[in-house]
Structures are given as structure tokens and as C-alpha cells.
Chain A
Amino acid sequence: MPPLLEVKNLQTHFITRSGVARAVDGVTFSLERGQTLGLVGESGSGKSVTCSSIVRLLPKGSGRIVGGEVLFEGRNLLDISENEMRRIRGSQISFVTQDPMTSLNPVYSIGNQMEEPLRYHQGMRNHGQLHAKVVEALTQVGIPSPERRVKDYPHQLSGGQRQRVVTAMAIECQPSLLIADEPTTALDVTVQIQILRLLKDVQKELNLGMILVTHDLSVIARTCDKVAVMYAGRIVEEGPIDEIFARPRHPYTRSLMRAIPQIGRKEDRLYSIPGQPPDVRRLPQGCPFAPRCPDVIDRCTHEAPTEQFFGSNHRARCLRAEEMGAS
């Protein structure tokens, strides 16, 4: 049986006036049912574009998937028709988006929006049935008095509740893959924990494959089975959670770990890693992290690092990966 999701050498480029942005440049990873993959990296490293590419929802005009494969249950999603793709979105692959304040349509009631996946994917038309399903989903995500909430509009709900609604909407059709792109960034710290717990519960209950995008390694540590670290459109290190935390092999991963924010403080968008992430339109020769790397050596500036494997499931893209693990 093929893995739930297998992304192979995915390349997504943006054609802009000032050049081609290689937002995702050869990303490869896989995910099994019941597994959670943490996707971590600085802003602009290509996490969101990777997620969007999986369901082929890129900004019209400029964004293009130029290479690679996205095998979902063995089927290449890049080959199917737009209509087939649409039927997968929201039913088999669901999303929990970043900002619940803006992700719900302000002019339709919660109930109305929650009914949509059921209508479009399961052809459910019966009002009573729809209502029951919606209430059930709301109950499942822990919305109090869901009967009443159904008639409410998004602006009548708190941020945490809205994210619960978004989550409920995502799991209504029993998907097998859930992609949560920074689901807690816009929320209060106390609420963040609740939402993470909810996602984890849901994931376990439905035995979902889940991709959790975050800036926060501590979140990853608590929720994920494995982690992929992205830098400048590539995965620079990937491996099981304990492996990575015990023996990070990429200097970037190590910097990230050093920059883990204190508990209770709302995290910053940017880590306090010195220097700026590179411009994906003008990547330097050699390792893109080299200019900022504390462990940089001469070779790094002109020789592009290849992937090195450590055991069956830990890999890193660094010329000095070997020595890193040793130290």
C-alpha cells in the first residue's frame, strides 16, 4: 500500500517582474496515515507554497508547479483534472488556515458555510440531515451550544471559536489528510494550546495524516512525529522528532532550536537568527544558508550541498552534516 502522501521533487515557481522566484525548489517528503509532519522554517522559506501546491491552489497567473509529483494515495494529483482536484479538496484533503478572523465569509452564517463541504462533496441536500451533521461536527470540535452557533455569523464568535469552526469544517467529510498552515499564529497564547490539542485529538480520532506548519519548534516537539525544516524552498533537514531534537545535523536547525521562544510569549515572525533569509529570486551559488551559517567553511560558498542520509529516515543538506551530528 502506498504512503498517504508522497511529495517528490516538487518545484513551484513564481514568475514575477523581477525574475523567477523558486519558492519551492525540489521538495521531497512523505507522510503516512496517523502521522503528523511538522513543517518549520523562517518566513518565506516556502512552507505555505508547498502546502498550496499539494492541492494546486496557487495564486492565478504567477504561480506555477513546474516539476515533481504529488502522490496522494498513489495517485499523482498534478495529473488529474481541475474538477477531480476540486472534489478532493475539502473532502480527502482538508485545510485549517492561518487566520480564523478572516477565513470565514463574513456574510454567511456558520451553518451555511459548514454545510458547503457536505453539499458539494456528499451531495447532501436534506436540511435536517445537514443541520444534524453540522451540529455534530461543531460538537466534535468543542463548540458550546452548537445548535445556536449554527445561526451565528463569524463576527459573533471569538477567534478560538472560529478556528474550531474552521477545523470542524475541515473534518466534516472525514478527510485522510489535514493540512494546518500556522493554525495558531493569529490566536492568543492560551487559545493556541487549546487549538493544538484539538487538532491533535482530531488527528488521533480520525487517524489522519497531518501536516502542521509552524514557526515554533516547541509546538513541533509536542505534536509531531517527524519534522521537516525548510530553508529557501528546500527541505534542509528531515527526520523523526526525537532524532532531530537529539542530533540536529544542519546548522540552520540548530539555530532554530536556539531561537525557541520562551513559553507564554507570543512568538515573533522572525527568529533571532542573524542576517536575512535569502531572496528566492536570486539564490547564491553554493549553500543558500552559507552567508548566515555560524559553521560556514570555504567550500560552502561555492559547492551546493547534496542530501546526506543518516539511518533510514534522517536526512540533511549540509556539507558538514556528518561532523554536526558528532558534536
Chain B
Amino acid sequence: MTGYIVSRLIQTLVTIVGISVVVFFLARLSGDATALLIPPEATAEDREALKESLGLDDPLPVQYGIFVKGIITGDFGDSFRFGEPALDVFLDRFPNTLKLAAASAVVALLGGVSVGVLGAIRAGGFVDRLTTVIALLGQAIPSFLIGIMLILFFAVELRWLPTSGMAGPKTFIMPAIASAWYSMAALTRMTRSSMLDVMETDYIRLARLKGVPERAVIWKHAFRNALVPILSLFSLQIIFFVSGSVVIEQIFAWPGIGQLTIQAIFSRDYPLVQTIVFVTSTFLVLLNLGVDLLYAVIDPRIRLA
């Protein structure tokens, strides 16, 4: 177990260093930052002065060094466009994205898993066919359409929920469903096929032969074994949730990082782009580490190998 953790930790660290390099150079590939920061009429001296004040006149390795030092000290520089520390600008929104990501993850996981399991244990039956339809719809209907349909139905027609914005728990419902939509469908299919595979195994048969009640056969014996592929798919889906969906944020006026990222890239706000991408990726890498450790908890063969 310790060996497993240590090797995963080292991998994680290497990945983070890699991210820092990629993030830094990718940000600079987006073009000249100063071009969009000052009006076209500004003089060449103005541009130079601006470059200097933004630290863009240093050679790239020096800039990278400053960036790395910043990562360690938690100082990611000031956003070119907001004039505030990039980390503050980012952290102002990241929790909103995380909250929605958590809600979406819960919806996707609960929805996907319960429907998928139901489909698997009633394989071939009506529920199973319904499952297939749901899974298909999830892939066929884009999330923005789902979002708008939800708004029209629950907000405009029924007046149960507010159309958009982030306020109470009520405001999480529609964006969470809309952003979980696709993942839920994918998880449904994955859960169904993974469960079907497991239900065929000898140990499920033996569990039944032992007189274990069906409920425990499904949730204790089968589900935990089916969980590893479900989790690996889920950990991929989480990337989408945590990176913030521009579409969902747009429709539900959600103050997340999706829009912020796009704007930061378009306006070549290097510090902000770097901060967003670096912190988000690092977060995801750590999350992935968490998932890897979770595998070990779920499956002793990984833990004890």
C-alpha cells in the first residue's frame, strides 16, 4: 500500500511540474497580451512601458522562473485585465464552479448509477429499455438544449425554480441536472454493462447459493466490483465539471470559471490563464490521486499488489 501511494505521489508531482511548463508556454502562444490591453492608438513607448510593468520584457526562462516561484509562494501575479491578484480573481469564482461540480457529480453519479443498476438487474425488461432510451437521449440532446428546456418548464411554466443565478439551493437544481446530463447517460451505460458483467460471475452465483438476499447480492457483492470502471469514467467526467462548462454558465448565468477562462484566453491575460489552468489542473491531478487511492480502498488486489 505504501509503495502504491508513494509511486502515485511521485507521478502526481511530476505531472504538476509538467503542467506548470505547459501552462506557461501555452498561455504565451495565445498572442501578444499588450495588443488587447491598450487601445490601438497607443504609442510604441506606451506598449513597451506596459510590457515592462507586466514583466513581459524579461526573457522567457526568467518569466518562467518567476512563475514557478509564484506557484510556491502562492503569488500568481496580477491579472492584466482585472488588476487584482490573479489567484484572487480565480478563487472568487472557483468555489462556485466546485459547488456546481459537486452538485452535478452527485446528480450524475446517483442518477447514472441507480438507473444503470436498475437496467442491469432487469436486463431486457421494460426498465432496461427505458435505461437505453435515457442513455441515448443523454448523448443526443446537447446540454444547452436541456438547460433551456428545464428553464422553460420549471421556471417559466411551473414557476418552481428561479431561471438562473446562484443564490439558494434551489438555484443549483437545473444547472446541476443540465451539466450532469451527458455524464449521467454515459455513467448509466457504463454502470449497466459493468454490472451485467459482474452479475455473470461465479462469486455472485456463490453469494446467491449462500442465501444472501438479492439486495445485498447487488449492492454489496456486485456493485463494489462493478465500481472500478464506473469510477474511472466518473473521474474523467469530473474534469468537465471542475473545468466549468461555458455553456451551462452562460445559460444559467452561473459565476463559474468557464466564462472567466474563455475571456482570459481571448484577452491574453497570461497570469489569469496560468492561474486558472494551473490551479484547476493541479486540483484535478490531486483529485485523480484521490480516485487512485479510492481504487485501492475498493479493490484489495490493487491495495495489496
Contact = CB atoms under 8 A, between A and B. Distances in A.
Direct contact of A and B (CB under 8 A): yes
Interface of A: 55, 57, 60-61, 86-91, 94-95, 97-99, 102-109, 116-117, 120-121, 153, 155-156, 166, 169
Interface stretch (B30-38, B203-211, B277-285): B203-211
Most chain-A Cβ atoms within 10 A of its Cβ — which of B209, B216, B220, B224? Answer: B209
A169 B212 CA distance: 12
A57 B54 CA distance: 73
Most chain-B Cβ atoms within 10 A of its Cβ — which of A86, A87, A88, A91? Answer: A86
A57 B210 contact: no
Most chain-A Cβ atoms within 10 A of its Cβ — which of B205, B220, B298? Answer: B205
Given A87-B211, A88-B211, A121-B211, A103 B206 contact: yes
Contacts of A87: 211
24 contacts: A55-B209, A57-B205, A60-B123, A61-B124, A88-B211, A95-B209, A97-B202, A97-B209, A102-B201, A103-B206, A104-B206, A106-B225, A107-B224, A108-B220, A108-B224, A109-B300, A116-B207, A116-B212, A120-B213, A121-B211, A153-B301, A155-B300, A155-B304, A169-B210
B203 A120 contact: no
A148 to B, nearest CB: 14
A121 B124 CA distance: 32
A179 B295 CA distance: 36
Nearest to A95: B209
B203 A104 contact: yes
Given A102-B201, A105-B225, A57 B209 contact: yes
Given A99-B202, A153-B304, A155-B301, A105 B211 contact: no
A206 to B, nearest CB: 17
A103 to B, nearest CB: 4
A156 B214 CA distance: 27
B278 to A, nearest CB: 36
Contacts of A169: 210
Most chain-A Cβ atoms within 10 A of its Cβ — which of B124, B206, B207, B304? Answer: B206
A156 B299 contact: no
A72 to B, nearest CB: 14
Given A107-B298, A120-B212, 14 more contacts: A57-B209, A86-B213, A89-B211, A94-B209, A102-B203, A103-B205, A103-B206, A106-B203, A116-B207, A117-B210, A120-B211, A153-B304, A166-B206, A169-B210
Most chain-B Cβ atoms within 10 A of its Cβ — which of A102, A107, A116? Answer: A107
Nearest to B207: A105
Contacts of A86: 211, 213-214
Per CB-CB distance, the 8 closest pairs between chain A and chain B, nearest first, are: A90-B211, A90-B210, A89-B211, A102-B202, A153-B300, A95-B209, A105-B203, A103-B202
A93 B301 CA distance: 31
A107 B300 contact: yes
Contacts of A166: 206
B47 interface: no
Contact of B206 (A95, A106, A120, A153): A95
Nearest to A82: B214
B246 to A, nearest CB: 39
B28 interface: no
A102 B204 CA distance: 10
B203 A116 contact: no
Interface string B121-135: 001100000000000
Interface in B242-278: none
A89 B300 contact: no
Contacts of A104: 203, 206
A99 B207 CA distance: 14
B127 to A, nearest CB: 14
Contacts of B211: 86-91, 117, 120-121
Nearest to B125: A61
Contacts of B124: 61
Contacts of A90: 209-212
